[in-house]
């Protein structure tokens, strides 16, 4: 059987999900391309990590978002189990602080019912404080959406790509797309810094750069501009809400959220600042933006801890498309070119459903019958979580591999064994450049109270040894961020 060659541009949550779904088919040869040294380092890296409920998107204005969000929510319930992705299904409260907010809650309730969201309802003040006692006393009621959840976004991308690679997908990391070859109205392949990738189908899942990739193929009817959101994360042990707390939304944003993220840290954000198209790398936080987030969060959660308890601030970018809705379609003027563009919120939620939508497009619009593999494995290889094991199981593990008895990250109890397993998994999906961030996103090392000041030198030593490079060739986040001389001196002294 001649295989149809598919090139997916972008290894974020959307591209990874498409790769996993297309890996089910015997007659496809799937290539996943990303300019970054690891997967999930674009838009997917910095967001609120919420699996939304599907009540927010107007099906008349944004039909793709409305359809795919609720489908994606349902699929995530299956995917997190198959792929061992950190998750919690804790529900969301959209809080009314003024009497007029209830009009918007009624709109959201009706919209959610149209979109097929189950079990949502408006709760009064008494029930609201039973669900979330720490809320501001000014809260009057809320829309309760039980199906909302949270996941680890980059761990999710990593898990999906591992499973896709295990099912035959080929990755091309540190591979920047520089052109799309089109002949006689049909795609022929992708021109990159690492050579030419032949392709019969090109799927543009390039996030913030999807408009630029589309223009390489001669498709030029939409533009992507970045919308920045800023966040605060607090030290562990700070009490936060059990549910995801939203204010009543505005026309451009779901509002500043207060939540306890998947690792147990109180997190607040984001705001929403529209940036010009040329600022697609602008992830700098601003004093004004962070103050806006702080004030917005206090309206819902007045007992924010002192700022001395903040361990990190950061900003993420969302790709806002012309028209506001997801752009998911086969482009008629260029056969074989499929745009998956403008995947802004609720893109994380929708990703699994987007992947199945793309498979349908390949069959329906390109006329390619997809043949399912007889043996396709939906499960990720089991991962060892040292910090989650019982005392007895830790002892058994250490007897088999003493590296699990050497704690590297004290804050999150990450052992050398965990880091060695992370390195093995990095190499499995094609990560060529050793980086501290690649270890961080797989183990949680460097994300605790000390933000890596204790464990970073030891991680550098392990990466240098396992990749066969000098310590100063180890990077923070890929080429161009090599460890400096000061870090090397620390390693030499053994501190």
Residues with a catalytic annotation lie at 52
255: left (phi over 0), alpha (psi -120 to 50) or beta: left
Please report where in the chains the tokens 């198209």 appear, as a residue: 277
List the beta bridge partners of residue 313. Answer: 232
- CA distances to 384, 395, 420 from 401, rounded to whole Å, are 12, 10, 11
C-alpha radius of gyration, the chain, whole number: 23
Query: Which tokens belong to 199?
Result: 């392709």
Note the residue count of the chain.
495
Q: Strands 121-124 and 177-183: what pairing?
A: unpaired
* E-strand stretches of 113-236: 121-124, 141-145, 149-151, 170-172, 177-183, 186-192, 195-198, 201-204, 224-234
Query: Which tokens belong to 335?
Result: 């056969």
User: Residue 357 burial by CB count (10 A; 0-12/13-18/19+): exposed, middle or buried?
Assistant: buried
Q: Quick one: how many helices (H) and strands (E) in the chain?
A: 13, 23
d(C-alpha 489, C-alpha 52), whole Å: 47
User: Residue 332 burial by CB count (10 A; 0-12/13-18/19+): exposed, middle or buried?
Assistant: exposed
Q: Give the DSSP letter string of 389-454.
A: S-HHHHHHHHHH-GGGGSEEETTTTEEHHHHHHHHHHHHHTT--S-BHHHHHHHH-TT-STTTTTT
Please report where in the chains the tokens 């591209």 appear, as a residue: 15
Q: Which of the 8 DSSP states describes residue 251?
A: S
Give the residue from 229, 56, 232, 233 showing the smallest Cα distance to 147: 56
Are the CB atoms for 350 and 215 separated by under 8 Å?
no
Give the residue from 209, 283, 275, 230 showing the smallest Cα distance to 48: 230
């Amino acid at each position: 059987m001649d295989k149809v060659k598919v090139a997916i541009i972008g290894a974020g949550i959307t591209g990874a999900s498409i790769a996993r779904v297309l890996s089910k088919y015997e007659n496809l040869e799937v290539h996943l391309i990303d300019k970054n040294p690891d997967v999930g380092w674009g838009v997917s890296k910095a967001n609120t990590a919420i699996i939304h409920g599907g009540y927010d998107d107007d099906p008349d204005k944004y039909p793709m978002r409305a359809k795919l969000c609720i489908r994606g929510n349902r699929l995530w319930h299956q995917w997190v189990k198959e792929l061992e992705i950190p998750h919690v299904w804790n529900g969301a409260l959209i809080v009314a602080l003024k009497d007029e907010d209830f009009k918007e809650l009624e709109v959201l309730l009706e919209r959610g019912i149209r979109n097929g969201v189950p079990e949502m309802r408006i709760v009064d003040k008494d029930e609201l404080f039973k669900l979330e006692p720490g809320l501001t006393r000014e809260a009057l009621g809320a829309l309760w959406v039980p199906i909302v959840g949270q996941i680890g976004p980059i761990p999710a991308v990593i898990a999906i790509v591992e499973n896709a690679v295990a099912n035959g997908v080929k990755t091309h990391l540190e591979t920047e797309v520089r052109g799309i070859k089109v002949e006689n109205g049909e795609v022929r392949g992708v021109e990159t810094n690492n050579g030419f990738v032949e392709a019969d189908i090109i799927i543009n899942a390039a996030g913030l750069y999807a408009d630029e990739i589309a223009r390489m193929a001669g498709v030029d009817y939409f533009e992507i501009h970045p919308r920045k959101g800023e966040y605060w994360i607090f030290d562990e042990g700070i009490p936060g809400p059990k549910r995801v707390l939203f204010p009543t939304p505005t026309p451009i944003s779901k509002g500043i959220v207060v939540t306890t993220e998947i690792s147990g840290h109180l997190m607040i954000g984001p705001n929403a600042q529209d940036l010009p198209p040329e600022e697609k790398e602008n992830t700098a936080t601003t004093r004004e933006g962070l103050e806006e987030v702080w004030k917005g969060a206090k309206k819902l959660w007045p007992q924010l801890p002192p700022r001395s308890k903040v361990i990190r601030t950061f900003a993420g970018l969302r790709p806002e498309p012309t028209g506001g809705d997801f752009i998911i379609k086969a482009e008629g003027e260029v056969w074989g070119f499929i745009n998956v563009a403008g995947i802004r919120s609720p893109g994380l939620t929708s990703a699994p459903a987007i992947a199945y939508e793309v498979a349908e497009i390949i069959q329906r619009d390109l006329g390619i019958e997809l043949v399912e593999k007889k043996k396709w494995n939906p499960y990720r290889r089991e991962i060892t979580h040292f910090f989650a094991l019982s005392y007895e199981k830790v002892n058994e593990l250490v007897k088999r591999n003493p590296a699990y008895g050497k704690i590297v990250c004290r804050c999150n109890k990450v052992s050398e064994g965990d880091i060695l397993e992370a390195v093995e998994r990095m190499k499995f999906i094609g990560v060529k450049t050793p980086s501290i961030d690649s270890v961080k996103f797989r183990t949680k090392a460097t994300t605790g109270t000390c933000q890596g000041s204790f464990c970073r030198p030891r991680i550098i030593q392990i990466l240098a040894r396992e990749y066969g490079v000098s310590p100063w060739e180890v990077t923070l986040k890929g080429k161009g961020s090599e460890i400096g001389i000061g870090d090397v001196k620390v390693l030499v002294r053994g501190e």
